[in-house]
Amino acid sequence: MTGTRGAYRKTAQRREQILDAAFTLFAKNGYTASSVNEIARMVGISQTGVLHHFAGGKLALLTAVLQQRDALAEENLRGKTGRDFLATLVEISRIQATQRGVVQLYRNLSTEAVDPEHPAHEYFRDRLSRIADAVTQAFTEVLEQDGLTPGTEPREASLSTLAMTEGLEALWLQGMDVDMAEGIRLFINGYLTRAL
């Protein structure tokens, strides 16, 4: 419907432009400190022009940005199991090292969203739970193939891996000289009988 022809073409383009600008700004300053006005200026239209495309106001922009980005990120993991899933985590991290904005976006927003009254609070709570469950399942699958070092408990391994991932991202964002993907790979290898 919103294809490359007809009356909706311009709308679709504008929406994309706006989402890109919103993403950039949210990544830089977080949600609260970003203004619709500045997004509008980046796109080259007025503030009301932006709101025209996102009826729900600023909040609609936030959820649209999050949904768009998560759809991309989770796509890589769909269908993967066990070792493949874990290897993909490392791969995602390798890609993210080239996309500072994405990492910063999620750190900024997930930090704000710790506040139970933040509009994206539930979103990030659920997101983290889902990821933790998925990683736990991956470790469980490896366990069933006798691929885990003795004594490794899937849930613990999952939470530790996520902690290491978040932590390496934090250090990296703050300018420390760390290799996120390598760090995660080595950390996961500590749980595996056969290295990734």
Partner DNA sequence: GTCTATAGTGGGATAGAC
Partner DNA sequence: GTCTATCCCACTATAGAC
Residue among 20, 30, 58, 87 that touches DNA (CB under 7 A): 58
Of 22, 53, 103, 138, the one binding DNA (CB under 7 A) is 53
* Binding of residue 108 to DNA (CB under 7 A): no
Closest contact distance (angstroms) between CB of 55 and DNA is 8
Is-contact 154 140, C-beta < 8 A? Answer: yes
The answer to whether the CB of 136 falls within 8 A of the CB of 154 is yes
Among DNA, its own copies, none, partner that 37 touches (CB below 5 to 8 angstroms by kind): DNA
Q: How far is the CB of 15 from DNA (least distance, A)?
A: 9
Interface with its own copies (CB under 8 A), residue from 124, 138, 142, 188? 124
Q: Is the torsion defined by CA of 132, 90, 67, 23 positive or negative? A: positive
Residue 24 binds its own copies (CB under 8 A): no
Query: What, of DNA, its own copies, none, does residue 171 touch, CB below 5 to 8 Å by kind?
Result: its own copies
Nearest to DNA of 53, 83 (CB atom)? 53
